[in-house]
Amino acid sequence: MPWTRVEDGQWYLHLFATEQPDLNWAHPAVRQEHEDVLRFWFERGVAGVRIDSAALVAKDPALPDVAGHPGPHPYVDRDELHDIYRGWRAIADEFDGIFVGEVWLPDSERFARYLRPDELHTAFNFSFLSCPWDGERLRRSIDETLAEHAPVGAPATWVLCNHDITRTVTRYGREDTSFAFTSKAFGVPSDLELGTRRARAAALLSLALPGSVYLYQGEELGLPEADVPLDRIQDPMYFRSQGRAPAATAAAPRCPGRRTNRTPASAPRWSPGCRSRTTGRPTPPTSRPPTPPPCWPSTGRPCGSGATCPSCTPGSCAG
């Protein structure tokens, strides 16, 4: 288990980064505080809330080690967490707000329990996201998704990309288009022209399906993955993993002033925005090509540049 010791000798649990201590959701004060936070934002007009790692909220009170633990996982998909979400749903209903959960579960029946009428409104469809560029796999995922959502009456969702995986334009242009969670393989060759055509076709397929579509920022522009040279990466997880992980979801770095046991000359500095570690030298500018306007097929309209794009013709999006 990931435990960290603090100065007074006590330990705290964190399933993710050390800056993200896990809360004891069995404590009434914790639940009340979070419900107050939800009301605070809904009262200010927030339309909805995304729940990260939604299946990892409740935990076995004994906090056992995972290795060798019999029965269900002590920290994943606990039955008692559904009562927490029922309380949150009641608050969202007061403001006509919505929740979307990040629920990574292989069991479709267990997944559907999060979408019951008194719990979360929607959850990201990782079955669809994880499909390689394969028509049969995509068809099977669509059929299974619609079947598993029907019993609880929740709308299906369609997701192609997110912050944890390689962007579809790059992934679909590789020889191996398979999916790997949190794997952003830098330096793997990709045919971006082919990947763009496939990503465009996948987007059109998603928009034609019943339910809701979630777009990752930049998908609407057809952006490829940024291939950052390893010597330029500043993501804190890259340094914490000694270069094994080039990027991370939860890697909140320390803010200035917390490193007091190293001399200024030898200590790496934290940027004023508390977002990345720097070496003390300014980052030289990097020339980047301009972002092209999105070119969607079959619109009958010219591209944003004012000229008709040769790729914007019916049938050109097949990969």
Taking the complete model, does pTM exceed 0.85, yes or no? Answer: no
Look at residue 193 in the predicted model and tell me its pLDDT.
97
Q: What is the pLDDT of residues 74-122, one digit of tens each?
A: 899 999 999 999 999 999 999 999 999 999 998 989 999 999 999 999 9
304 part of a folded domain: no
CA distance 290 to 241: 33
Residue 27 lies in a domain: no
Give the pLDDT score at 272.
38
Q: Residue 247: pLDDT above 90?
A: no
pLDDT beyond 60 at 262: no
Is it the case that residue 300 has pLDDT exceeding 80? no
13, part of any domain: no
Query: Is 183 inside a domain boundary?
Result: yes
Structural domain range at position 167: 43-255
Mean of per-residue pLDDT scores for the chain: 80
Does residue 98 lie within any of the structural domains?
Answer: yes
Enumerate residues 6+ apart whose C-beta is below 8 A from 241: none
Q: How confident is the model at residue 182 (pLDDT cuts 50, 70, 90)?
A: low
Give which of 172, 175, 144, 177 is closest to 158, Cα–Cα: 144
Q: Tokens 């339309």 — which residue? A: 47
Question: At residue 43, does pLDDT exceed 80?
Answer: yes
CA angle at 60 for the pair 17 and 21, rounded to the nearest 5°: 20
| Between 50 and 309, the higher pLDDT residue | 50
**pLDDT of 56 over the 90 cut:** yes
Specify if 294 maps to a domain. Answer: no
Fill in the amino acid letter for 174. R
Give me the number of domains the chain comprises: 1
Separation of alpha carbons 68 and 289, rounded Å: 52
Q: What is the pLDDT of residue 138?
A: 97
In the predicted model, what is the mean pLDDT of residues 149-160? 96
Q: Which pLDDT band, with edges at 50, 70 and 90, does 1 fall under?
A: low
Is residue 309 a part of any domain in this protein?
no
Stretch 222-230: mean pLDDT, rounded?
85
Q: Helices (H), strands (E): how many in the chain? A: 8, 9
- Given pLDDT bands bounded at 50, 70 and 90, which one contains residue 37? very high
Q: Name 264's Cβ contacts closer than 8 Å, sequence gap at least 6.
A: none
Residue 64 confidence (pLDDT) above 60: yes
Q: Identify whether the C-beta of residue 222 lies closer than 8 Å to the C-beta of residue 193.
A: no
Half-sphere exposure of 90 (CA within 13 A, CB side): 7
Give the range among 43-57, 279-293, 305-319 with minimum mean pLDDT: 305-319
CATH number at residue 176: 3.20.20.80
